[in-house]
């Protein structure tokens, strides 16, 4: 039985066989790899993953799809649960996991933030996301797409935009272009106060047209910015990740 796509679970299923091979091929799976697929849906990627000699875990929220998956892929471990409620410490007992997912676009940003905090259990992640989100994640300073998501992503992971995927690769077709990104956790800046960094980023990028003298006024004086070798006339988008880390450490030390 083919189940109807559920909009509330962001179900756009991959149907382009060439694209499915290209995505799974980009993982270069080795024997014994621990692969975790988020949102396997109708098993488009799962079929190809299960053909490789890996240890496979599937996380699917939709009960009906999960029931079909358990019959089709009996060798895989199936977790029929909302991935947002799953504690990734679940995977800490063994070798780091490799995550793959054509992610439901409605939860992609909160899910990414959750996974960034689970980095020590993760070897790498391959995700299909909206192209616009991938462009923001990989953006460099002083570009239009650079913002909070760029800083938070690149703080936790090395990023590689692999390739774009057109709407006709899916059924039903999404309205937007998609892309596949590879994220490799880099365990950078584990000493920094993440909550404070987030507060600073929210403040900075909610005023991205202002100078940092104004946008960061709540946190740093002009003298303090200058002591960090930051020109107060710069705009939030001109600051590098290291600049934001320096600001966060400085503010943390004076609190």
Position 99 contacts ligand SAM (CB under 6 A): no
**Binders of ligand SAM among 110-129, rule CB under 6 A?**
none
In contact, 233 and 211? CB cutoff 8 Å: yes
Q: How many CA atoms lie within 13 A of 183 on its CB side?
A: 30
Q: Which C-beta is closer to ligand SAM: that of 45 or that of 155?
A: 45
The position carrying tokens 């600051």 is: 239
Rg for the chain, CA atoms, rounded: 20
Q: Of the candidates 83, 202, 215, which has an alpha carbon nearest to the alpha carbon of residue 149? A: 202
Give the phi and the psi of residue 163 in degrees, each rounded to 5: -165, 165
Smallest distance, Å, CB 59 to ligand SAM? 5
In contact, 131 and 178? CB cutoff 8 Å: yes
Smallest distance, Å, CB 239 to ligand SAM? 33
215 class by beta-carbon count within 10 Å (0-12 exposed, 13-18 middle, 19+ buried): buried
Of the candidate residues 24, 45, 149, 247, the single one contacting ligand SAM (CB under 6 A):
45
Smallest distance, Å, CB 53 to ligand SAM? 21
Of the candidate residues 84, 95, 140, 176, the single one contacting ligand SAM (CB under 6 A):
84
List 35's β-bridge partners, or say none. Answer: 56, 98
Which contiguous run of DSSP H or E holds residue 55? strand 55-59
Q: Rounded CA gap, 160 and 200, in Å? A: 26
Of the candidate residues 102, 108, 169, 178, the single one contacting ligand SAM (CB under 6 A):
102
Position 82 contacts ligand SAM (CB under 6 A): yes
Binding mask 52-81 for ligand SAM (x = CB under 6 A): -------xxxx--x----------------
Which tokens sit at 163?
Answer: 């390739």
Q: Of the candidates 76, 77, 16, which has an alpha carbon nearest to the alpha carbon of residue 51? A: 76
Q: Which residue is nearest to ligand SAM (CB)?
A: 39
Smallest distance, Å, CB 228 to ligand SAM? 40
Q: Which C-beta is closer to ligand SAM: that of 67 or that of 189?
A: 67
Q: How many CA atoms lie within 13 A of 2 on its CB side?
A: 3
Q: Which C-beta is closer to ligand SAM: that of 39 or that of 147?
A: 39
Binding mask 3-42 for ligand SAM (x = CB under 6 A): ------xxxxxx------------------------xxxx
Smallest distance, Å, CB 39 to ligand SAM? 2
Catalog residues that contact ligand SAM under the rule CB under 6 A.
9-14, 39-42, 44-45, 59-62, 65, 82-84, 102, 104, 107
């Amino acid at each position: 039985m083919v189940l109807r796509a559920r909009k509330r679970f962001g179900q756009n299923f991959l149907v382009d066989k060439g694209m499915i091979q290209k995505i799974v091929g980009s993982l270069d799976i080795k024997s014994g790899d621990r692969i975790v697929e988020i949102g396997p849906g109708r098993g488009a990627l799962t079929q190809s993953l299960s053909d490789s000699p890996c240890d496979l875990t599937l996380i699917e929220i939709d009960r009906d799809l999960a029931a079909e998956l358990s019959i089709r892929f009996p060798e895989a471990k199936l977790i029929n649960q909302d991935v947002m409620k799953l504690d990734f410490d679940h995977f800490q007992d063994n070798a780091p996991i490799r995550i793959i997912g054509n992610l439901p676009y409605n939860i992609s940003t909160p899910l990414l933030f959750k996974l960034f905090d689970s980095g020590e259990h993760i070897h790498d992640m391959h995700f299909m996301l909206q192209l616009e989100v991938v462009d923001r994640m990989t953006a460099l300073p002083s570009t239009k797409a650079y913002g909070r998501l760029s800083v938070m992503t690149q703080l936790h992971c090395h990023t590689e935009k692999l390739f774009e995927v057109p709407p006709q690769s899916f059924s039903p077709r999404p309205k937007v272009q998609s892309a596949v990104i590879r994220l490799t956790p880099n365990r950078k800046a584990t000493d920094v106060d993440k909550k404070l960094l987030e507060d600073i980023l929210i403040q900075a990028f909610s005023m991205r047209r202002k100078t940092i003298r104004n946008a960061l006024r709540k946190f740093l004086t002009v003298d303090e910015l200058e002591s960090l070798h930051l020109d107060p006339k710069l705009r939030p988008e001109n600051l590098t990740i290291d600049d934001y880390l320096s600001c966060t450490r400085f503010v943390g030390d004076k609190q």
